[in-house]
Amino acid sequence: MEKEKIKQAAEMIIKAEYPVVLTGAGISAESGVPTFRGKSGLWKKYDPEAAVSIAGFRRDPEPFWDFAQDLLLENDIQPNPGHIALAELEKLGIIKKIITQNIDFLHQRAGSEEVLELHGTLNRATCLNCKKKYDWKDLVPVIEAGNIPECDNCQSNKIKPDIVFFGERLPQDALKQAWQAAERSDLMIVIGTSLAVYPVASLPSVTKENGGELIYLNVDSGQQDYLFDLIIKGKAGEILPEILKMID
């Protein structure tokens, strides 16, 4: 059954002129990165308001750093076959953009270049007080030792990763480019996201309203299933390499 749908997806991708991809935490699940919602999601364990709201962080950064222990980009987290298949489809000139809500940098590590990070990146951090920039990897040893990073320039303990906290605006340039890509796209492939968080969750309907088609790849049902032309139930790390095989 899914085999037939995989074939159909490959045909839709081949036919499309400007296929774009929208990803969420589910594409990184098989790399060992936890998702946010669902039975074992991060939001069952942490209060988003305390852990990742900008007001909360300014008041007290400690709850964020507790949360970061689970979110940590551990050194052994690697791109999985799903990320790699998408990078390969970009190299073949097929996929034009990856719009992602993920902050884990795994698309880029898999080799994708046209990536729009709408919720920022955990790859860098900025001191909220003096604006000094840090590489996340330089903070990891401090965090792993259970400490809160302190700015070596101004001694503030408010070094915030460049991810979008609740209460912050999305990176406006990336958002604008994502909107334009969604408008232009005649096929959006939506992978591993519950489509629960706006404005990103509006992007599939932007493509649809402009006459494009939509594919949903997820282990489960989503919140906007009625929008999609094709729904494939399965793991991104298993289905995407199958789709690639039919195209390559």
The catalytic residues are: 119
The stretch among 8-16, 88-96, 203-211, 213-221 that binds ligand OAD (CB under 6 A) is 213-221
Choose which of 196, 202, 225, 245 interacts with ligand OAD (CB under 6 A): 196
**Site membership for ligand OAD, residue 197 (CB under 6 A):** yes
**Site membership for ligand OAD, residue 112 (CB under 6 A):** no
The footprint of ligand OAD on this chain (CB under 6 A) covers a number of residues equal to 26
**Site membership for ligand OAD, residue 241 (CB under 6 A):** no
**Site membership for ligand OAD, residue 193 (CB under 6 A):** yes
Choose which of 30, 62, 114, 162 interacts with ligand OAD (CB under 6 A): 30
User: Helices (DSSP H) in the chain: which residue ranges?
Assistant: 2-15, 26-29, 42-45, 48-52, 54-59, 62-71, 81-91, 106-110, 136-144, 172-184, 203-209, 236-247
Instruction: Compute the residue count for the chain.
Output: 248
Which positions from 41 through 80 interact with ligand OAD, judged by CB under 6 A?
A: 41, 52
The stretch among 30-38, 68-76, 106-114, 137-145 that binds ligand OAD (CB under 6 A) is 30-38
User: Helices (DSSP H) in 72-169: which residue ranges?
Assistant: 81-91, 106-110, 136-144
As given in the structure block, the two tokens for residue 102 are 């993920």
Pick 158 or 235: Cβ nearer ligand OAD:
235
**Residues of 75-97 as b/e, b for ≥16 C-beta within 10 angstroms?**
eebebbbbbbbbbbbbeeebbbb
Which positions from 157 through 176 interact with ligand OAD, judged by CB under 6 A?
A: 164
Q: Looking at this protein, which amino acid is placed at residue 14?
A: I
Nearest by Cα to 17 from 188, 242, 178: 188
Pick 141 or 167: Cβ nearer ligand OAD:
167
Contact 137, 154 (CB under 8 A): no
The stretch among 71-79, 84-92, 179-187, 212-220 that binds ligand OAD (CB under 6 A) is 212-220
As given in the structure block, the two tokens for residue 31 are 């790399």
Q: Which residues bind ligand OAD (CB under 6 A)?
A: 24-26, 29-30, 35-38, 41, 52, 101, 119, 164, 192-194, 196-197, 218-220, 222, 235-237
